[in-house]
Amino acid sequence: MKVLIVDDEVIIRTGLSTVIDWEQGGFTILEPASSAEEALLRIPSERPEIIFTDIRMTGKSGLDLIREVKADCPDTEWIVISGYDEFAYAQQAIREGVSEYLLKTSRPDEIIQAALRAKGRLEMRRKSDELGREKDQLLNRSFLSSLLSAVSVPAEEALQELWTRYPQLRPEGGSYLQIWLITASSRAPEAGQNRETLYRSLGSLFMEEMTCEWLPWNESLLLLMHAKDGSVGWNPVEQLLRKAGQKLDCRLFAACGKPVSDAMFLREALDTAITAKSYEWLLGGQHIVRFEDIQTRKGCRGMCTHEEEAALTALLKSGDETALRNWVTSVTDQLRIDGQATPTTASAYLHSLILAGQRWLERAAASIGYNRQLQEREEAGRVRLADETQQELFRRFRHMMEEYRRLVSETTPVERAVTYIHEHLEQSLSLAQVARHVHMNPNYFSEVFKRETGQNYIEFVTQAKLRQAMVLLSETPAKISEVAKRIGYEDIKYFNRLFKKFTGKTPSEYRGNS
């Protein structure tokens, strides 16, 4: 806390500044001033918080000094130190706002105690002022939060209250309002800086540099910003984001909604900022997204293809976790470079892959008559597009891989053979080929297979193929020739005969009645 001594007697001002141990009391003693005129010149730049002054000096008096300074520095603490023990002087000094009246004959400890009392008063006022400002800020932010949360257009009274609370944000003369949503994460979480503290520091930094207000918003920082025409590319915001990230040692992602010229459209500005923010994962390494950058996207394919489903099931059967992880990385990377992908369609596509894996696992269990309960089925909810998306996808698929391993380990050779048959219906499956897969002699395998399934091998495979054809005919638009090929029949006439013998209908008739 800075202290200035003003006295026209050199012995007094030198003695006061050197004899007393100001530093020990937490004070910084400025170069003493020899007159009120000198003090008036220096005070605006040096900004002393406590001033000791004589009353009667050559030129302007100490009371004149007090009156002139108080207009610009009303919080300054004044202590008169005079050579005159007269009630009239003390009375006049008190009227001018002097806190202490000391004589020049006062002991050093009396002088330092007066300074400490002045310091205490200053600190109490500052604390009270800060609490008052914080209370006003909380009330203002609560009002702003309610205004932005409203679905309907704000009433005229609400808009008037907005400008009463935030006159500096009112758009005029070509200026407009922007809403930014910023998420931050510390690069050094061990430092103990939580997100609330990080956002408070970030909001304060923005308010120091730009005309804006901030408030917490759904785990993000919301900035309501006053911007002027000519801020091409909003470079000032981008530059400040980089500066803030470096200063606070954190990673920042910022999404900006549509600029609006009237506060009645603030909800649109917020909704478009929320939409832009939803692209955080899809746009990968980008740190800033504007609504105008993504508003024309049409969406990517929301369903996986038959080929993609086949590739996934092959990986799940392989048990190769490294290959599975690489595949998941490749899938998500392809989504991120798709210039038409939206969060909704990307999430739908990933969800279709998960459902494909779950259906395959359930079919594998059903195909062997597995009647023991599978472990708890993975949740059916869609994958949340966030930093953990790849890890979450891999975790779910690895769970399916482990379930399949468990199925295989707990099944008999015939059950494994049945699974193999259902997974390779597009092939011409010989008995020897399947027996080799389950490590059995073909003749012995044929006997065991009929004993456990109640059917001979050829009959079982034929019926499995035809049941799959029934599913394809009823659930897909594939041509009949394509259906026949998918279950391993190149001769369409032969397929038609087998199908009618099994179902009593031709493939066309079956599809028409499905």
Q: What is the mean pLDDT of the chain?
A: 86
**What strands lie across the sheet with 212-217, from one edge to the other?**
212-217, 220-227, 176-186, 250-256, 288-290
With a CB cutoff of 8 Å and minimum separation 6, the contacts of 52 are 3, 4, 5, 6, 7, 16, 79, 80, 81, 111, 115
Place of tokens 């900004």: 47
Residue 149 has pLDDT above 70, yes or no: yes
Which secondary structure element, helix H or strand E, spans residue 288, and what is its range?
strand 288-290
How much is the pLDDT for 10? 92
Place of tokens 């800086």: 193
Residue 250 has pLDDT above 50, yes or no: yes
Domain 413-513 has CATH 1.10.1740.10: no
Query: In degrees rounded to 5, what are phi and psi of residue 444?
Result: -65, -40
List 45's β-bridge partners, or say none.
none
Tell me the CATH number of domain 2-124, given options 1.20.1090.10, 3.40.50.2300, 3.40.50.1980, 3.10.20.600.
3.40.50.2300
Tell me the CATH number of domain 175-294, given options 3.30.70.270, 3.60.21.10, 3.40.50.720, 1.10.10.10.
3.30.70.270
- Residue 251: which of 288, 224, 196, 217 has the closest Cα? 288
How much is the pLDDT for 233? 47
CB atoms within 10 A of CB 329: 13
Residue 407 has pLDDT above 90, yes or no: no
Confidence tier at 368 by pLDDT (50, 70, 90): low
Confidence tier at 232 by pLDDT (50, 70, 90): very low
Kindly write down the DSSP assignment for every residue of 215-228, as one continuous string.
EEETTEEEEEEEE-
Residue 337 has pLDDT above 70, yes or no: yes
Domain boundaries, the chain: 2-124, 175-294, 306-369+387-400, 413-513
Q: DSSP character for 155?
A: P
Confidence tier at 419 by pLDDT (50, 70, 90): confident
Query: In degrees rounded to 5, what are phi and psi of residue 42?
Result: -90, -30
C-alpha to C-alpha distance for 257 and 344, rounded to whole angstroms: 18
Rg of the chain over all Cα atoms, to the nearest angstrom: 40
Query: In degrees rounded to 5, what are phi and psi of residue 2?
Result: -90, 140
Give the distance from CA 50 to its chain's centroid.
46
Determine which of 93-102, 283-292, 346-355, 481-490 has the lowest per-residue pLDDT on average.
Answer: 93-102
C-alpha to C-alpha distance for 199 and 185, rounded to whole angstroms: 10
Enter the tokens of residue 31: 């170069």
